[in-house]
Amino acid sequence: MIGAWRCRAAIVCAALALCAAAARPAPAVAQQSGILELRFLDVGQGDAILIRNGGKTVLVDAGETDAIAARLRQLRVDTIGLAVASHNDNDHIGGMDAVLRALPVRYYLDNGFPRTTSIQRTVLELVRDRGVTYLQAGPRTIEVGDARIRVLPSPVAGRSVAQNDHSVALILERGAFRALFTGDSERRELAALVRQNEVPDVDVFKAPHHGSRTGILGAFLARARPEVIVISVALGNPFGHPHAEALAAYQTPGRTVLRTGQDGDVVVTVDSFGCYEVRTARSGPTVLARGGPATSPARRQHEKRP
Ligand SMILES: [Zn+2]
């Protein structure tokens, strides 16, 4: 599906109409009717991903600071159906308390890892006090309008395992479109997901752990085969992210690699067939990558693997 813009012949007329809708500039604030918006927010060093579809809103991680609440208001988010903490490090849930105070949140899902930090305790107290329904990550599918999110709890067990390898992975699907987020997973979790045959062929992949070398696994990338990789990372961060080894692994011909720190918000719009387009705050209306429902024999063959 690399470089593809192929809509199935049987649905080509309708698909083209919808793809034309998707071709309009990404909205500055509110989402377009009929279009799923997947927005990787530029929150500095951390993750925050906003998914909106059919009037439903999902927030995956909330960055490190309370600034996320103002960003969400700017984007006209007034309710969050589901908030997910991929794991409980500060750069992922540091702003979650502000979100819970600022907005009604219906469900909160995390990795169920024991309370270890003050921010985690604060967030879970707010979840309880505000009547938010707590969900521990288990294999489940959550409907988001006509899209769905498949929850993949970390296959790595044991309390001695670092938070990063306890990251909850999510697969977002709409039509033929798929995106994969694995929090700050490192090789141990990535390898376990590969062993369990949990890694699908995807269109968009959020680089694990802000482009750290610890999040590179050739076997994982060979399975996921993303056309677009988004690295959520601050410019000039003290960790040296993204590492050169990660960029070398990610930057292959036909693939688009974007970084929130230098590109601003990365916005993927997806129509009901799975036709998608990618823009950034920096690119404005210019489409940086696009793809369509998979028709390539390579992808179909890949999906038939046991
Ligand atoms: Zn992180």
The fraction of the chain above a pLDDT of 90, given in percent, is 80
For residue 161, being part of any structural domain is answered with yes
**2 domain-assigned:** no
pLDDT tens sequence across 90-127: 999 999 999 999 999 999 999 998 767 899 999 999 99
Whole-angstrom distance, CA of residue 1 vs CA of residue 293: 8
Q: Compute, in angstroms, the gap from residue 13 CA to the centroid of ligand 1.
A: 42
Please give the distance, rounded to the nearest whole angstrom, from the Cα atom of residue 197 to the centre of ligand 1: 25
- Residue 1 belongs to a domain: no
Q: How confident is the model at residue 285 (pLDDT cuts 50, 70, 90)?
A: very high
Q: How many whole angstroms from 287 Cα to the centroid of ligand 1?
A: 28
Count of structural domains within the chain = 1
Could you tell me the CATH number of the domain that includes residue 252? 3.60.15.10
Average pLDDT, the chain: 88
What is the domain extent for residue 102?
9-26+33-303
pLDDT of residue 292: 86
pLDDT tens per residue, range 141-180 = 999 999 999 999 999 987 778 889 999 999 999 999 999 9
280: CA distance to ligand 1 center in Å? 21
pLDDT-derived band at 7, boundaries 50, 70, 90: very low
Find the 33 Cα to ligand 1 centroid distance in Å: 32
- Asked, for residue 53, whether it belongs to a domain, the answer is yes
Note whether residue 273 is domain-resident.
yes
Sheet holding 228-231, edge to edge: 140-144, 147-152, 169-174, 177-181, 204-206, 228-231, 256-259
Q: Assess if residue 263 is contained within a domain.
A: yes
CA atoms of 243 and 259, how far apart (whole Å): 12
